[in-house]
Structure 1
Amino acid sequence: MSSSPSPRASWTRTLAGALLLAASLQALAAAPENSSAQALRATHQRMSDKLDHGSFGRPVQLDSMETPDGLQGDVYAVVEHPLSAISATLKGSAHWCGVLTLHINNRRCRTASGPQGSEMLTLYVVRRYDKPIDQAFELPFVYRVTNATPEYMSVELMAESGPLGTSNYRVTLQAVALDERKSFLHFSYSYDHNAMVRLGTMAYLATFGSDKVGFTVVGKTPEGQPEYIRGLRGLVERNAMRYFLTLDAYLAAPGPDQAERRQRRWFAAVEQYPRQLHEVDLDTYLALKREDRQRDGVAR
């Protein structure tokens, strides 16, 4: 006749089973995170030649496309910042307000608590930099840190509704450590628009905005100069690059009371690409941002 297991043996087996289950759950949780980091590193390796020999004067690559419902711009870059510094600087919706309001058309940003403990970020955007704040439209984003480890981080901002027939705004940042000093970033900016908005935007770009171009080279002019993409993809390329440069400027001066230093850095970066991004002189830009800070009583 077999004997029953001792209480000590039963407890040992129970403990071992619990530890095995915990280890399995931890491995399952880490798998998507590890795969995301590996995928971003693979993207860096695949793009290394383009990054090293691109036309931006630094390791940056810009892609754009018309999606079935809208537009998307993607910027890939190697930056001289360790991932730990990027994570510390860009965690929190208040920091992202500081990032996004470097853009000349973004005149105010407010944060608040959302449902179920989420963070909200509302951006106030004017159609032209010289329009007053009471003509700004609101973009209410939900802010989420979707991953944060010593090797990989990702942040997402999503707004379901936008102005004038636009919707599903999505801003994402992924970053992976390359070594102790450098990181590889993927910044993506996209939104949807309805058919009427698309036609209206195309009409504007074909007339009053006919001189506006993006960054993708599609040929050469009769004089042998680069011919840049125009139209809707040119539009999203300009905005994606402006927003990437806000990130870059904020990372370069992350501390408190650095607002004007970051603004000067953003403006200088934008002016490296005057054909695509020049709008105003430095004094005008700084005066607008100074007015915004004084009006809202913020130091960012």
Structure 2
Amino acid sequence: MRLPHVVTASLIMAAVCAQAQPAEAPEFVARLQRLAPVEPFGRPVLIRSEVEGGVVRAEIEALIDRPFRDVQLALADPPRWCAAMILHISNTGCRAAPAAPGSAAMPRIALRIARHLAQPPEQADELDFSYHPMTASTDRLSVRLHAAKGFLGTHDHGLMLDAAPAGAARTALRLSYTYRQTPLADWSQTLWLGTFGRGKVGFSSEADDGGSPLVGGIRGLIERNLVRYLFAIEAAARTPAASDRQAYQQRLRDYFDATERHPRQLRQVDLDAYLALKLPLVAVGIGRDQRR
């Protein structure tokens, strides 16, 4: 199946697979360093998505203006992942649990996700991710999260991060997300998109030349979520050692400012409303107390 993207066909990436091993860092680092800034991001970015055979996939590659060591510190362990993921507007709680001593089990990240902003946190759906660090070195960070059960009839959720230095002051990121859906899940998400998600689009277009309308529907949904997680990681990397309320508030503002540059896709509330949702979650946002 031919997939659309936001740049020319010569830059088509390999298909996303959450269980796949990451490619060699120089491949995607060099690709991004050769790429001119892409609108509407104003920097090198590649995005693609597909829905095929009951599997929904999306991938984004991007350069961020933070040294690799800051990204590595901001995502050093499951609690810090929680502290970054909680910036996403739909995430209302996160709890990191270490693996039991002597156990073969992996650490876990239990993420609470609201279907709409008026939903109370205790009623939000939970994705229970296992945390798989794949590579952690001075020039590479690769992590995979996997949740067997999802919500709205989805399952087999996978979030994959691959990061590497792109010079002294920049980092190349590749972030992908995939999940499986049943016919019931497809119907449920279509219903949601027709109500709370009405009119929203993604970032890639239907045609290779970018001249057609932006994708909507489920592909638009997963692209929006992936970009939100990119911005959350970038905001966390600006305050990689966040340990107090002031640092958390700065992360919130950095994240919100990034989303506001893409109002058609990402605008949902104003800053005051966003802060009202997120400030009560300060303990999660600085990684000290991983409360639900």
Instruction: Indicate the TM-score class for this superposition, using the shorter chain for normalisation.
Output: 0.7 to 0.9
Shift of 1:251: 0.6
Considering Cα pairs closer than 8 Å and 6+ residues apart, tell me whether 1 or 2 has the greater RCO.
2
Residues 166, 192 of structure 1: 8 Å contact kept: yes
Describe the superposition over 1:104-148 as per-residue Cα deviations: whole angstroms up to 9, x where unpaired: 111111111234262111111111122111211111111121101
User: What is the deviation of 1:252?
Assistant: 1.0
1:43-122 equivalences in 2 (<5 Å): 43-114=28-99, 115-116=103-104, 118-122=106-110
* Distance (whole Å) between structure 2 residues aligned to residue 157 and residue 38 of structure 1: 17
Residue number in structure 1 paired with 2:116:
128
Quote the RMSD (CA, aligned, Å). Answer: 2.6
Residues 226 and 265 from structure 1, CA distance in 2 versus in 1: closer, same or farther, beyond 3 angstroms?
farther
Residue 287 (structure 1) aligned to one of 257, 273, 276: 276
For residues 161-197 of structure 1, the C-alpha deviation after alignment (integer angstroms, 9 at most, x for no partner) is: 1122111111111011222222211011221111111
- Find the aligned partners of 1:150 and 1:88 in 2 and give their Cα distance: 11
Match of 2:219 among 207, 218, 233: 233
Say which structure is richer in helix: 1
User: Judging changes above 3 Å, is the alpha-carbon distance between structure 1 residues 181 and 199 closer, same or farther for their aligned structure 2 residues?
Assistant: same
Deviation string 1:248-297 (CA, Å, 9 cap, x unpaired) is: 11111222111111001101101100000100010011011122337999
The code of the aligned residue for 2:121 comes to: I
2:160 equivalent to 1:160: no
Amino acid at match of 1:110: R
**Letter of the structure 2 residue corresponding to residue 269 of structure 1:** A
User: Deviation of residue 152 (structure 1)?
Assistant: 1.3
Q: Which amino acid aligns with 1:42?
A: E
Offset, 1:227: 2.4
Q: Separation in 2 of the partners of 1:101 and 1:296?
A: 6
Aligned to 2:104, the other structure's residue is in SS state helix
Distance 1:299 1:265, change over 3 A: farther
What amino acid maps onto 2:248 in structure 1? A
- When the two structures are aligned, how many residues end up with a matched partner? 260
* Partner AA of 1:195 in structure 2: P
Q: Percent identity?
A: 31
- Segment drifting more, 201-210 vs 168-177: 201-210
Task: Say if 1:39 and 1:299 are closer, same or farther in 2 by CA, change over 3 A.
Answer: closer
Identify unmatched segments of 5+ residues in structure 2: 1-20
Equivalents in 2 of 1:146, 1:51: separation in Å?
Answer: 30
1:148 to 136, 143, 151: 136
Evaluate the alpha carbon distance shift between residue 253 and residue 296 of structure 1 in structure 2; reply closer, same or farther with a 3 A threshold. Answer: closer
CA distance in 2, matches of 1:279, 1:245: 15
Q: Does 1:259 pair with 2:245?
A: no
TM superposition shift of 1:46: 3.5
Report SS of the residue matched to 1:227. coil
Query: Residues 297 and 177 (structure 1 numbering): CA distance in 2 closer, same or farther, change over 3 Å?
Result: closer
**Matched letter for residue 177 of structure 1:** P
Please give the alpha-carbon distance, in whole angstroms, between the structure 1 residues aligned to 2:286 and 2:170: 35
- Displacement of 1:298 after TM fit? 7.0
The residue number in structure 1 matching 2:261 is 272
1:233-262 C-alpha deviation (Å, 9 max, x unpaired): 111111111111111111112221111110
Structure-2 separation of matches of 1:199 and 1:46 = 38
TM-score (norm 1): 0.78
TM-score by length of 2: 0.80
Please report how far the alpha carbon of residue 57 of structure 1 lies from its aligned counterpart in structure 2 after TM superposition. Answer: 1.3
Match of 1:190 in 2: 178
Change (3 A) 1:196 1:50: farther
User: Is the contact made by 1:37 and 1:151 (CA closer than 8 Å) also made in structure 2?
Assistant: no
